[in-house]
Amino acid sequence: MRLVTRGVRFLILAAFAVFFVVPVIWLILAPTKSDQDLVARGPFAFGAFHNLALAWQHLDSFSDHLYRMWIGNSLGYALGATAIVLVTAIPAGYGLALFRFPGRNLVLTLTLVVMIMPAATLVLPIFLELNVLHLIGNALSVILPFAFFPFGVYLAYIYYATALPGDLLDAARIDGCGEWATFRRIALPLARPVIALVFFFSFVADWNNFFLPYAVLADSTQYPIQVGLSNLLSSTPSFNPAVGGGGQQVNIFRPELALATLLAVIPVAIVFLVSQRALVRGLVAGATKG
For the stretch 86-117, pLDDT in tens is 999 999 999 998 888 898 899 999 988 988 88
259, 186, 224: which is closest to 78 by C-alpha?
A: 224
- Look up residue 221 and give its DSSP letter: G
* pLDDT value, residue 245: 47
Query: What is the chain's length?
Result: 290
Please name the residues in contact with 175: beta carbons below 8 A apart, sequence gap of 6 or more: none
> What is the helix, strand, coil percentage profile of the chain, to 5?
75, 0, 25
Alpha-carbon distance of 68 to 260, in angstroms, equals 10
Q: How does pLDDT run across 225-278, given as a tens digit for each residue?
A: 999 999 888 878 777 776 654 434 567 888 999 999 999 999 999 888 887 776
Q: Kindly report the three-state secondary structure assignment for every residue of 160-213.
A: HHHCCCHHHHHHHHHCCCCHHHHHHHHHHHHCHHHHHHHHHHHHHHHHHCCHHH
Range scoring the smallest mean pLDDT among 11-15, 86-90, 178-182, 197-201 = 178-182
236, 226, 213, 234: which is closest to 70 by C-alpha?
A: 226
* pLDDT value, residue 290: 42
3-state class (DSSP) for residue 253: coil
pLDDT exceeds 60 at position 145: yes
CA dihedral 68, 72, 75, 80 (to 10 degrees): -170
Domains in the chain (CATH in brackets) are 1-47 (no CATH), 64-289 (1.10.3720.10)
Residue 211 near residue 118, CB atoms below 8 Å: no
Reported as a pLDDT band with limits 50, 70 and 90, residue 286 is: very low
pLDDT exceeds 50 at position 285: no
Q: Mean pLDDT score of the chain, rounded to an integer? A: 86
Q: Kind and range of the H or E element at 41?
A: none
Alpha-carbon distance of 132 to 269, in angstroms, equals 37
Alpha-carbon distance of 16 to 5, in angstroms, equals 17
Say how far residue 203 (Cα) sits from the centre of its chain: 4
Alpha-carbon distance of 45 to 274, in angstroms, equals 32
What are the two backbone dihedrals, phi and then psi, of residue 137, each rounded to the nearest 5 degrees?
85, 0
Pairwise pLDDT comparison (121 vs 237), residue with the higher score: 121
pTM of the model: 0.86
Q: Is the dihedral of CA 30, 32, 38, 42 positive or negative?
A: negative
Percent of the chain with pLDDT over 70: 92
* pLDDT value, residue 247: 39
Residue 155 near residue 197, CB atoms below 8 Å: yes
* pLDDT value, residue 229: 93
Amino acid at the residue 195: I
Q: How does pLDDT run across 41-56, given as a tens digit for each residue?
A: 888 888 889 999 999 9
